[in-house]
Amino acid sequence: MAASFDLVVLGAGSGGYACALRAAQLDFNVALIEKDKVGGTCLHRGCIPTKAMLHAAEVADSVRMGSQFGVHAAIDKIDLAGVVSYADSVVARIYKGLSGLVNSNGITVVHGAGRLTRHDGHHVVSVDDETYQAPNLVLATGSYSRSLPGLEIDGAKILASEQALRLERLPTSAIVLGGGVIGVEFASAWRSFGVDVTIVEALPRLVSGEDPSISAGLERTFRKRGITMVTGAAMSSCQTTESGVRMELADGQVLEAELILVAVGRGPQTSGLGYPETGVDLEDGFVKVNERLETSVPGVYAVGDLVRGLQLAHRGFAHGIFVAEDIAHRTGLLKRPPATIVDLGVPRVTYSDPEIVSIGLSEDEARTRFGEVETFSYDLAGNGKSQILKTRGFVKLVRRPSGPVVGVHMIGARVSELVGEAQLITNWDAFPADVAGLIHAHPSQSEALGEAHLALAGKPLHSHG
Ligand code: FAD
């Protein structure tokens, strides 16, 4: 006999657990099925451990550069096992809190690998011999690290991010294949730990999803930091050798290093789970959904990395909450339908040194959409707090002529902390004059955002407008 719930969620990562929590708050009886640990990629193998590693990297840089601030100190050693154990302790604390939250909300957690099947004419999730049914099901099985043909992740010399996070000894040299967010973050941290890093990127620039000015700024700083970058270069072959790995590029260049991190993107975890077999349409492996995140099967939804678009934890949270509220609205529990989740309104952060923040449209995207646009870049050289931190970078605004700000792009140490204000500006369609009227605390990096808007509003303070 099938166990019956109001909602069954398959996968307890950011998208799945957020959906379960919101649904439980709305008094749904929820089953959350997870084959590994509640929290998923972000908590156990993604956002949290990488950011802990990057924080340790920042500590290393602070020690190394202490003399520039009159504090003389030296690094004795980088104990990578110690870094991993620090990251583990952060993950463990968050995991404990999250598990408590899930339990206290009365959610039934089912431990096991689930599969979408049909039972008595209904879609259900089966785990071993048990069946879990509900009027609404949510697919939230996430994503996996992709590789390239002929490049098999062996976990020893050819690593994906999962293995790279478990390394207990630093390599002397590493090739990072892929200059997207994950590749750039690892390259940054490893360089801070003293590793000789080469990034290989097939596209002409790093972080190619960002405004080109941001890529240029990142590449400038990475070059100064001693990170080698080979862009516009595709890998043609790769072999392991006795001492490490040897990679040949399409232009004949040969690179050697102790190990390779393969960071060429993440694919949706949709195979072998019964999705297409039960009528759930896929496209390039991603689950096809409408704007309400409903799949081709009515009553079956998909959230998070399974859905084509930005693969970010906070987008997964937003998807999960949306689906729970949408179901509640359709069943009459909520009066108003929730607002649909649009990727353009999702903030993007790369936590390397320097950090990168973007929200909304790049200059080129805005030009394509609106024709003419106005832009302004405020150099962090004019920002007191950035000078104190000795960071370089800028805040770039993109605005519709005589209209609202449609894109904010920032690069520099610690700019991730400005992402909240940046998203309020674009998501509330603020005009430069609206933001120029807000008072930004001095000295803070948020002043750079204020100054850029003052300039676009025609009344620059510490810039030439
Ligand atoms: P997942 O978190 O992948 O969760 C899916 C869950 O489903 C997993 O727990 C899995 O075990 C489970 N599952 C799969 N199949 C089954 C099955 N058959 N039965 C039961 N359970 C199953 N995002 C950010 O926003 N900020 C960051 O700083 C950031 N850093 C990252 C760093 C790295 C190295 C990586 C890899 C990712 C990072 N991300 C970051 C992305 C973020 O982790 C993902 O966008 C997010 O985890 C997606 O959530 P999800 O719920 O869709 O999938």
> Does ligand 1 come within 6 angstroms of the Cβ of 447?
no
Whether ligand 1 lies within 6 angstroms of the CB of 262 is answered as no
Report the pLDDT value the prediction gives residue 2, as an integer from 0 to 100: 87
pTM: 0.97
The answer to whether 288 and 295 have CB atoms below 8 angstroms apart is: yes
Give me 11's structure tokens: 């996968």
Chain centre to alpha carbon of residue 71: 34
pLDDT, tens digit (0-9, with 9 covering 90-100), for 211-246: 999 999 999 999 999 999 999 999 999 999 999 999
Predicted confidence (pLDDT) at residue 96 exceeds the cutoff of 80: yes
**What ligand 1 atom has the least distance to the C-alpha of 186?**
34
Ligand 1 centroid from CA 100, angstroms: 20
Q: How confident is the model at residue 179 (pLDDT cuts 50, 70, 90)?
A: very high
DSSP characters for 251-315? TS-EEEESEEEE-S-EEE--TTSSTGGGT--EETTEEP--TT-B-SSTTEEE-GGGSSS---HHH
Any atom of ligand 1 within 6 Å of the Cβ of 304:
yes
Dist CA 269 CA 280 (whole Å): 14
Please tell me the predicted confidence (pLDDT) of residue 384: 96
> Is the pLDDT score of 193 beyond 90?
yes
User: What average pLDDT does range 335-349 have in this prediction?
Assistant: 97
- Summarised one tens digit per residue, pLDDT across range 414-450 is 999 999 999 999 999 999 999 999 999 999 999 999 9
Q: Which of these is catalytic: 329, 409, 442, 453?
A: 442
In DSSP notation, 119-156 reads: ETTEEEEEETTEEEE-SEEEE---EEE---TT----SS
The mean predicted confidence, pLDDT, of the chain is: 97
In this structure, which residue's CA is closest to atom 30 in ligand 1?
47
Which ligand 1 atom is nearest residue 14's CA?
Answer: 51
Is 47 a pocket residue for ligand 1 (Cβ < 6 Å)? yes
Split at pLDDT 50, 70, 90, the class of 120 is confident
CA 89, chain centre distance (Å): 21
**By C-alpha distance, which of 277, 422, 270 is closest to 357?**
422
For position 86, what pLDDT does the model report? 98
Residue 166, pLDDT above cutoff 70? yes
Is the shortest distance between the CB of 146 and ligand 1 below 6 Å? no
Which amino acid, 117?
Answer: T
pLDDT-based confidence at residue 381 (cuts at 50, 70, 90): very high
Tell me, in angstroms, the distance from the centre of ligand 1 to residue 379's CA.
Answer: 35
Spacing, Cα 14 to ligand 1 middle (Å) = 6
Tell me the mean pLDDT in the region 168-187: 97
- Asked whether residue 1 carries a pLDDT value surpassing 90, the answer given is no
Closest approach atom of ligand 1 to CA 15? 51
Query: pLDDT tier at 465 (50, 70, 90 boundaries)?
Result: low
The verdict on whether 442 is a catalytic residue reads yes
Whether 112 has a pLDDT exceeding 80, the answer reads yes
Taking the centre of ligand 1 as the mean of its atom positions, its distance from the CA of residue 342, in whole angstroms, is: 19
Does 41 sit in the ligand 1 pocket, CB within 6 Å?
yes
Measure 1 CA to ligand 1 centroid, in angstroms. 31
Q: Is 50 in the pocket of ligand 1 (CB under 6 A)?
A: yes
Tell how strand 405-412 and strand 235-240 pair up. Answer: unpaired
CB of 355 closer than 8 Å to CB of 419: no
Q: What is the mean pLDDT of residues 261-284?
A: 97
Cα of 45 to ligand 1 centre, how many Å?
Answer: 8
pLDDT at 207: 98
Most informative mutation of 36, 37, 42, 289 for ligand 1 (most atoms within 8 A of CB): 42
Of the candidates 224, 196, 162, 260, the one whose C-alpha atom is nearest the C-alpha of residue 354 is 224
The CB of 180 under 6 Å from ligand 1? The reply is: no
